[in-house]
Amino acid sequence: MRKTLCILVALVALVGLFFLIRDNSSDVYDDLAKREARRESQREANAFAEQHDLAKLAARGLGQAVPIHLVSQIDPSGDFWFVGIESSELGVQIPFEPGKIPDPPAETEPVHENPGFLGADACQSCHQEKHQSFVKTAHHRTSRLATAENISGSFESVGNRMQTADENVHFTMIERDGKFYQRVSFFDWQFEVPFHLVMGSSKMGESYLYWHGDQLFQMNCTYLSEVDDWINSPGYLDGDAIYARPILTGCLECHVTYIDHRKPPNHFTPGSLITGISCERCHGPGKEHVDFHLANPNVKESKHVSVPSKLSREQQMDICGQCHTAQKSPKDPRGFQFRPGDRLADHYDPVEGHDTSANSVHTSNQVARLQLSECFKQSEMACAECHNPHKPERGQTALFSKRCMSCHESEHCGMSDTLGERLAQNCIDCHMPVRASENLKVDTAEGSIFPPLRDHFIRIDPQATEEYLGAIKGDVSK
């Protein structure tokens, strides 16, 4: 009996040992296999990361390859590549081949000679005071290079993402080695486009342009000041990623001092660009004037320069009208041919129905609107009657109202009894109301936004009066 028990115990122990050994050895094999599998998947992950790490790829002049389940084809127009997916209407449009990155800005010689534009800094040494205040104006700031201090939108992990209404499409703003990129995540494909130029002083917002060789294009994401966030550029559909909209001469004529236009539609010489709207767009190219006064420091009379106040009223209006009118196309494809004293009509084709505030690019068409006003019709005023182009004066309502009162007695206003002293603080909101424009429609994941612009048709406007009285209700009696 004892013997049997012993054998049994020994047997159990043996079986146990067998299992123990077997288990152990299987553990060893499993471990090896698992480790190998892990190594393999790590290798795959590394290879995947290698193929997907946009920074590493970019260093080799490459972008991420398009996953095979996405549609990737050149548009029949031949102007851009399209990347999409069967299950969705959304799409990517880029002027460079998917899987590549945009070419760096071309280092080419200008095709045309610069007619003498220098930029505002060339005026600093002799016109210090004007220069100092001018560099703070919206004109000077309206275009600049895309550096950290010049881009208002956020690159921090909170705030650098623009989600579209489609969960598969979003944009991330990336900073790398002092350069800035919009990274597009379209389904499981990603690509990056570099910021090169900032357009807009950031009163309403900033749009961004980038170079692909000698071609300039607009970027999909814009910054909107009102919401302090990234949004789709005006006119873009939410969910698309459009980087193939060419920048035409007109856009630059209104927002930079000068650039050499190589050939239509959007070929320019990057090195010829003078950012900002400088003094010279209102006073003429400055080279001759500067050269003369540098060579003749004793001459106190100005030479080779235009002063708007010495021109006729029409000529003065035409200077501002280069940019503050309805959309127009230059007769000379080079652009930048208008000089102070010229007639606008000699340089631009006329536009139909130009006196509504809605038909202009995204300006509120100040020239034509002002011309509808009795103030304009029954006086000799031009834009400089109310605007000092050399100083930033935005938002100084009382100062502007003072300028109204250089021609009007506040007592003549029908609201003078109701508002008393207060009237003189703000003639503007009742007589030049701010109106949102259909032309500036911005599509966001939450709906459309229409940034407001001031209407220069000065008039009696019951609706604006009602709105203004509503807004200040409560402290009128004071």
Total of residues contacting ligand HEC (CB under 6 A): 105
Return the residue of 64, 93, 164, 201 that touches ligand HEC, per CB under 6 A: 201
Nearest to 265 by CA among 274, 278, 256, 252: 252
Hey, what are 147's tokens? 């550096």
C-beta of 97: minimal distance to ligand HEC in Å? 24
Assess 193 for contact with ligand HEC (CB under 6 A).
no
Return the residue of 64, 172, 182, 207 that touches ligand HEC, per CB under 6 A: 207
Site string for ligand HEC, 223-252 (x = CB under 6 A): ------------------------x--xx-
Assess 146 for contact with ligand HEC (CB under 6 A).
no
Assess 279 for contact with ligand HEC (CB under 6 A).
yes
Q: What count of Cα atoms within 13 Å lies in the side-chain half-sphere of residue 340?
A: 20
Bridge-based pairing state of the strands 434-436 and 442-444: unpaired
Assess 469 for contact with ligand HEC (CB under 6 A).
yes
CA 471 to mean position of chain CA atoms: 32
Compare residues 52 and 391 and give the one whose CB is closer to ligand HEC: 391
Return the residue of 236, 293, 330, 347 that touches ligand HEC, per CB under 6 A: 293
Assess 118 for contact with ligand HEC (CB under 6 A).
yes
Stretch touching ligand HEC by CB under 6 A, among 41-49, 172-180, 346-354, 378-386: 378-386
Return the residue of 204, 219, 273, 274 that touches ligand HEC, per CB under 6 A: 204
Most distant CA atoms of the chain, gap in Å = 133
Stretch touching ligand HEC by CB under 6 A, among 58-66, 145-153, 159-167, 421-429: 421-429
Assess 308 for contact with ligand HEC (CB under 6 A).
yes
Assess 386 for contact with ligand HEC (CB under 6 A).
yes
C-beta of 377: minimal distance to ligand HEC in Å? 7
C-beta of 199: minimal distance to ligand HEC in Å? 4
Assess 144 for contact with ligand HEC (CB under 6 A).
no
Site string for ligand HEC, 70-99 (x = CB under 6 A): ------------------------------
What are the beta bridge partners of residue 143?
199
Compare residues 66 and 282 and give the one whose CB is closer to ligand HEC: 282
* Binding to ligand HEC in span 249-268, by CB under 6 A: 250-251, 254-255
C-beta of 297: minimal distance to ligand HEC in Å? 7
HEC secondary structure over the chain: CHHHHHHHHHHHHHHHHHHHHHHHHHHHHHHHHHHHHHHHHHHHHHHHHHHHCHHHHHHCCECCCCCCCCEEEECCCCCCEEEECCCCCCEEEECCCECECCCCCCCCCCCCCCCCCCCHHHHCCCCHHHHHHHCCCHHHHCEEECCHHHCCCCCCCCCCEEECCCCCEEEEEEEECCEEEEEEEECCEEEEEECCEEECCCCCEEEEEEEECCEEEECCEEEEHHHCEEEECCCCCECEEECCEECCHHHHHHHCCECCEEECCCEECHHHCECCCCCHHHHCCCHHHHHHHHHCCCCCCCCCCCCHHHCCHHHHHHHHHCCCCCCCCECCCCCCCCCCCCCHHHCECCCCCCCCCCCCCCCCCHHHHHHCCHHHHCCCCCHHHCCCCCCCCCCCHHHHHHHHCCCCCHHHCCCHHHHHHHHHHCCHHHHCCEEECHHHCEEECCEEECCEEECCCCCCCHHHHHHHHHHHCCCCCC
CA 87, CA 432: separation in Å to the nearest integer? 49
Assess 330 for contact with ligand HEC (CB under 6 A).
no
Assess 120 for contact with ligand HEC (CB under 6 A).
yes
Compare residues 260 and 280 and give the one whose CB is closer to ligand HEC: 280
* Binding to ligand HEC in span 162-181, by CB under 6 A: none
C-beta of 373: minimal distance to ligand HEC in Å? 7
Compare residues 141 and 187 and give the one whose CB is closer to ligand HEC: 141
Assess 275 for contact with ligand HEC (CB under 6 A).
no
Assess 334 for contact with ligand HEC (CB under 6 A).
no
C-beta of 118: minimal distance to ligand HEC in Å? 5
C-beta of 276: minimal distance to ligand HEC in Å? 9
Assess 426 for contact with ligand HEC (CB under 6 A).
yes
C-beta of 53: minimal distance to ligand HEC in Å? 32
